[in-house]
Amino acid sequence: MSKQPPLDKFEQDVLDESVPIQQLLRLVIVLGGRAFSEPLRLWARNELQGYPGPGMPLPTYRTITAPLQMDSHSRFSQGRNETISVLALPDVAHDLVSEQLPVTFSVGKIQNLIANQDPHTPFKFGLPGSAELARLMTSERSGQGVVVERIYWSVHASALHDILEQVRNRLLEFVAELRATMEPGESEPTVGQVHQAAQTINITVGDHSPVHVIAPHRHSATVSFPTRPHHRWWPRR
């Protein structure tokens, strides 16, 4: 019985929703190393580990639209999940906060958040400096006796699930383009073919600048994954 070609197995896993995205991204990290593609490897690593720091450019699919909400109370009433405008925030926050929420969590954390949350209950993601903003808003409403407890983005689980779908879709685009660049009968792609296929993943950052994948000069070299005891492109199972 012949073994399933590695590329076939990877394509099957990408299409199989039960296969964790983390497993697929780990393969892409190794592939990026074999193909001398640091941007491809960096993208997969950031998806696995999360995007570090405010200076790290985010792919556009990781910025979602989420309404601002707040919880408050007064002597006579209690407010929960009250949607507010950015203009309702203190002036100092108007240029710093919007309804566009950058999601920097790793894909693993996103999956855990979705799995452990009631699908009908939105997530509450706190704003940077939300405690100080709540204090300022309470001060502004002191004449009304309103105490602002917390301010947050309200995020439905479907918005986080869409991020995972975007990652899987880009992996599928990568495999499809890889097959299109390979000659009939080829079982393993060359470095140049990986380079060409990676361009179609269409990873763009916040300013819509594409991530460019740089390939070495030896485009005819075959890309293979390291496994034991031989060095092959994809791990055989």
In eight-state DSSP terms, residue 59 is B
Half-sphere exposure (CA, 13 Å, Cβ side) for 229?
0
Per-residue pLDDT reduced to its tens digit, 18-59: 999 999 999 999 887 877 777 788 889 999 999 987 677 889
Q: How many other CB atoms sit within 10 Å of the CB of residue 236?
A: 13
Asked whether residue 115 is assigned to any structural domain, the reply reads yes
Asked whether residue 41 is assigned to any structural domain, the reply reads no
Q: Domain containing 66: what range? A: 62-158
Terminal alpha carbon distance of the chain? 14
What are the distances in angstroms from CA 19 to CA 10, 46, 81, 110, 132?
A: 10, 19, 36, 15, 42
Q: How many other CB atoms sit within 10 Å of the CB of residue 194?
A: 27
Q: Which of 11-15, 117-121, 207-211 is predicted with the least confidence, judged by mean pLDDT?
A: 207-211
Mean pLDDT of all residues belonging to the chain: 82
Asked whether residue 217 is assigned to any structural domain, the reply reads no
- Among candidates 62, 19, 58, 56, which has minimal Cα distance to 159? 62
Are 158 and 122 in contact by the 8 Å Cβ rule? The answer is: no
β-pair partners for 89: none
Per-residue pLDDT reduced to its tens digit, 150-198: 999 999 999 999 999 999 999 999 899 888 888 888 878 888 888 777 7
Ramachandran sector of residue 14 (left: φ over 0; alpha: ψ -120 to 50; beta: rest): alpha
Asked whether residue 4 is assigned to any structural domain, the reply reads no
Q: Which residues of 19-31 are buried (b: 16+ CB within 10 A; e: fewer)?
A: eebeebbebbbbb
Helix 38-49 / helix 107-115 crossing angle, nearest 10 deg? 30
User: What is the number of residues in the chain?
Assistant: 237
- Provide the number of structural domains found in the chain: 1
pTM for this entry: 0.80
Asked whether residue 205 is assigned to any structural domain, the reply reads no
Between CA 150 and CA 90 the distance in angstroms is 14
- Among candidates 37, 21, 45, 28, which has minimal Cα distance to 166? 21
pLDDT of 217 strictly over 50? no
In eight-state DSSP terms, residue 232 is -
Asked whether residue 81 is assigned to any structural domain, the reply reads yes
β-pair partners for 64: 101
Q: Read off the pLDDT of each residue in 96-124 and give the average, rounded to a whole number.
A: 94
Asked whether residue 31 is assigned to any structural domain, the reply reads no
* Bond from prior residue into 20 cis (ω within 30 degrees of 0): no
Asked whether residue 167 is assigned to any structural domain, the reply reads no
In a 10 Å sphere around its CB, with 0-12 CB exposed, 13-18 middle and 19+ buried, how is residue 54 labelled?
A: exposed
